[in-house]
Structure 1
Amino acid sequence: MSGFSEWTPQLIQDEVDALKHKPGALLPILHAIQDRFGYIPSEAVSIIAESLQQTRAEIHGVISFYHHFRTSAPGSQTLQICRAEACQSMGGRNLEAHAKARLGVDFHQTTSDREITLEAVYCLGNCACAPSVRIGDRIHGRVTTEKFDRLVDKMTTRALEVK
């Protein structure tokens, strides 16, 4: 889980307190927590609910409605596959199936070695080079199953070098 801070109840409360007075504070609070810790810990729900005077069910409902929010720690690297229409029309569904089989996970899951989290996104803005994936901040276009395998090999090699 590189790049993210370990959470504590006080650190969660600090994020909530910094934003709770803004109109429509819930989404900014959830984004701030995920940006800082990599996910929304289940323990954060009650802290947020109490601070915003909402129920835990209301907070959980928002978290579960938006696919962007994670409720478990991500892997050390995130691989996103575009599922928008242009990518779908250029072989995206085949790429999705291949990715899930190769990594042994479904969308919103992390490989057993905790290295790669697979996520679906709905447009990377690279439609002319569909299908596309994003690894970290880098977008890759015209991704075939072979190119996907090479990218994953580089990700796992890089992870081994860091350890």
Structure 2
Amino acid sequence: MPQALDSVRQIANAHRELPGGLLPALHAVQEALGHVPDEAVPVLAQALNLSRAEVHGVVTYYHHFRRTPPGRHVVQVCRAEACQACGGEELLAHAERSLGCKAHETSADGRVTLEPVYCLGLCASSPAVQIGERLHARVTPQRLDRLLAALEARP
């Protein structure tokens, strides 16, 4: 973790003079480490002249930020209104059953993290899922099963 904290310090210092620099710094930390570890909170708070409570509050408020390392693959299921109207809630429940983990959790084998998100921008072709960087539209439970099975072939 010392090397990770060095990265956090560098990121925090790069955002120190930027008005409203906390959010860009948090995004940069997550990009660098895959998540925002709890140990990063006091480092960011000190560098950005904020309280630990302020930093912690932002990390826990926004669903985008992870506090633990994700699995090797991240599956995001949209929960915005258009996707809900077209079966998004049922799709999320199906994903939980298929992966054997709840939303905001990682499967027992560490392969997949399941994240509910709010709006992937495919409202006209919902429900939508994002796996890694790839968006998928009009996803049915059967199609989700095929997409998850394809992850098995990947490292």
Normalising by structure 1, we get a TM-score of 0.89
One-letter identity of the residue aligned with 2:73: Q
Task: Please give the alpha-carbon distance, in whole angstroms, between the structure 2 residues aligned to 1:90 and 1:52.
Answer: 43
Change (3 A) 1:150 1:8: same
Unaligned runs of 5+ in 2: none
Residue 149 of structure 1 is matched in structure 2 by 145
Percent sequence identity is 47
Alignment map for 1:25-44 (pairs within 5 Å): 25-44=21-40
Change (3 A) 1:7 1:147: farther
When the two structures are aligned, how many residues end up with a matched partner? 154
- Secondary structure of the 1:118 match is strand
Is the counterpart of residue 96 in structure 1 residue 97 in structure 2? no
One-letter identity of the residue aligned with 2:17: H
Change (3 A) 1:37 1:56: same
Residue 69 of structure 2 is matched in structure 1 by 73
Task: Please give the alpha-carbon distance, in whole angstroms, between the structure 2 residues aligned to 1:23 and 1:64.
Answer: 21
Q: Deviations over 1:77-126 (max 9, x none)?
A: 11111111111111111111111111122222111111111111211221
Is the counterpart of residue 18 in structure 1 residue 8 in structure 2? no
Normalising by structure 2, we get a TM-score of 0.94
Is the counterpart of residue 85 in structure 1 residue 73 in structure 2? no
Task: Please give the alpha-carbon distance, in whole angstroms, between the structure 2 residues aligned to 1:147 and 1:127.
Answer: 18
Residue 55 of structure 2 is matched in structure 1 by 59
Task: Please give the alpha-carbon distance, in whole angstroms, between the structure 2 residues aligned to 1:62 and 1:141.
Answer: 30
Following superposition, which runs of at least 4 residues in structure 1 exceed 2 angstroms of deviation?
none
One-letter identity of the residue aligned with 2:116: A
